[in-house]
């Protein structure tokens, strides 16, 4: 019997890439899975019901239980239908994996309004809308006296720390990480945990990310594939389990690594003080010492591409 036997899970963006791997593993662990995907392009345009139904067929062929849903998570009403379909099909919802995403990369100086709006809608609103309706479902169950043990698993990115050419994407991913912390604060009273992934994997989106495409190819010698998206899914299954203790976590995950981000913190050596209110002259004199501290933004040069190249050099040891 799998660790998720009897659990009901929604996975958004589950037609390809990370979402597909998540859905397949959740089902293999015994969960009933709602496979959500509109089947659009990398930029979010178009629609194709095929990918969602293909994943459902894979799950069923392997003896699992799944249904397809092709509603857009950028729509409040679409997100409501998604949650309602899960409850109608399986009687309840236990796990929501928010994974849907698109890219419209552009330097901010050249970005047009639609490129900003589309990315924020799919990533940030596309996380908030399904979680809103799932949370209402769990609140109602908790208020009726039921003991709820539910899980929200969000998807951020190393780009939340900043990546040139991805102002819209980085802002959305940082927002998702922050939203996860608030969800953990607010939903714990209903028996709901909320965690977030910052995955490193080879997907349609990462292959389009500046500085990344050449670093994530599958090895030709049959050795461990560090960037296979399936490497991320075991953490998703663990966070989905009823006995998982984590909430409010933002996890680095990829290859053979799992790590926990510590968040924004003031470094002890990156604080200056004054006797009362600072003056401009006082800041001109003292503020440059912050550049010597660990928290100095001016000294941060790491991009997603830098991180992935470093990750790749560590190999699978």
Residues designated catalytic: 157, 169, 173
H helices present in the chain, as ranges: 17-28, 50-61, 76-90, 113-120, 126-143, 167-187, 233-240, 280-286, 304-314
Is residue 8 within 8 Å of residue 86, measured between CB atoms? yes
Is residue 216 within 8 Å of residue 163, measured between CB atoms? no
Cα 278 to Cα 13, 180, 288: the distances in Å are 49, 35, 14
CA distance 162 to 285: 29
Is residue 127 within 8 Å of residue 99, measured between CB atoms? no
DSSP 120-149: HIIIIIHHHHHHHHHHHHHHHHHHTT----
């Amino acid at each position: 019997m799998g660790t998720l036997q009897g659990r009901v899970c929604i996975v958004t963006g589950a037609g390809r890439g990370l979402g597909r791997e998540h859905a397949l593993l959740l089902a293999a662990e015994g969960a009933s899975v709602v496979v959500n995907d509109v089947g659009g392009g990398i930029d979010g345009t178009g629609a194709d019901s095929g990918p969602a139904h293909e994943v459902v067929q894979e799950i069923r062929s392997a003896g699992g239980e799944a249904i397809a849903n092709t509603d857009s998570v950028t729509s409040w009403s679409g997100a409501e239908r998604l949650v309602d379909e899960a409850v109608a099909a399986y009687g309840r919802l236990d796990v929501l994996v928010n994974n849907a995403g698109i890219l419209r990369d552009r330097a901010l100086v050249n970005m047009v309004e639609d490129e900003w709006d589309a990315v924020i809608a799919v990533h940030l609103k596309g996380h908030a809308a399904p979680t809103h309706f799932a949370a209402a479902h769990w609140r109602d169950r908790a208020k009726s006296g039921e003991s709820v043990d539910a899980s929200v698993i969000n998807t951020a990115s190393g780009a939340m720390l900043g990546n040139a050419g991805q102002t819209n994407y980085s802002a959305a991913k940082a927002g998702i990480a922050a939203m996860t912390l608030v969800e953990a604060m607010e939903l714990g009273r209903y028996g709901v945990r909320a965690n977030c992934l910052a995955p490193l994997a080879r997907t349609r989106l990462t292959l389009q990310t500046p500085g990344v495409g050449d670093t994530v190819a599958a090895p030709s010698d049959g050795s461990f594939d560090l960037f296979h998206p399936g490497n991320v899914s075991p953490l998703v299954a663990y966070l989905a389990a009823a006995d998982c203790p984590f909430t409010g976590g933002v996890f680095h995950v990829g290859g053979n690594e799992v790590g926990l981000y510590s968040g924004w913190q003031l470094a002890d050596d990156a604080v200056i003080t004054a006797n009362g209110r600072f003056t401009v002259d006082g800041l001109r004199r003292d503020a440059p010492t912050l550049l010597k501290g660990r928290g100095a933004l001016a000294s941060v040069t790491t991009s997603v591409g830098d991180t992935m190249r470093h990750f790749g050099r560590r190999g699978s040891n």
